Amino acid sequence: MSATATAPAKKFTLTQALVTRYAKLSALKNLIDKWLDEKRALFQEALLGQSCPDKGPYLLERNEVALGPNYKAILVERLESDGMKQEDIAAYIKARSTGTCIRLEKKINPNYRKTFTLKLPA
């Protein structure tokens, strides 16, 4: 037995508060990502003709970055040049897919009814 033995992992307990917090933060992240996607093109266009304001703590720069190769497109071109049909190419790529991705989807709990207490003045 090693002198640096590790303690057994503590079991994670899923509580309603954690589920609610996860769902709320994930929804907020989605809203932020959507806003960023909408504004990105506007910011890039604005930075073409003018410099970024420099009074605040952050600056934005417009940089062009060379994209890497699209290996799926290269493979499809190669298979087409070898005479493979589109249906066969799709089946070939699907058969070699790396598997599935597990995501946590957020949905509204239909069984949850929030109760509000009404305090009337005395």
Structure tokens at 53: 């304001």
Within 8 A by CB and 6+ apart from 60, the residues are 43, 47, 52
Q: What is the mean pLDDT of residues 49-64?
A: 80
Position 118 pLDDT exceeds 70: no
Of the ranges 47-51, 88-92, 100-104, 109-113, the best mean pLDDT one? 88-92
Total-model pTM:
0.52
Dist CA 23 CA 29 (whole Å): 10
Tens-place pLDDT, residues 72-83 = 899 999 999 999
Position 2 pLDDT exceeds 70: no
Cα 107 to the center of its chain, rounded Å: 17
Dist CA 24 CA 113 (whole Å): 17
